[in-house]
Amino acid sequence: MNYYEWNLVIQHPNFDDLAWGLNFNKSLNPFGTINDTTMLWGIDFFNDIIMQSGPNKCVQKELLFHKDPTTFTLEDG
């Protein structure tokens, strides 16, 4: 399979606090006060590296969010 051209839609309740994304492009399309969905797509340079890596390809992406210390807790897992 060839996943060189890829798009991914993600829904997360904290996308309005997205601090940083690694190795992909993103588009945030807020709908009124709701901003929980984004579309991600690959950057050509990194897609080229994946295609040259041989049959055992691996893709790693990172999304870092700001946290609200008044609502973020580790009590409930």
pTM above threshold 0.85: no
For residue 76, CA distances in Å to 64, 72, 73 come to: 21, 10, 7
pLDDT of residue 54: 60
pLDDT at 44: 64
Instruction: Map out the domains of the chain as residue ranges.
Output: 7-65
Q: List per-residue pLDDT tens for the chain, 77 residues long.
A: 455 566 777 777 766 666 656 555 555 555 566 667 777 776 666 656 555 656 666 666 677 777 777 766 677 55
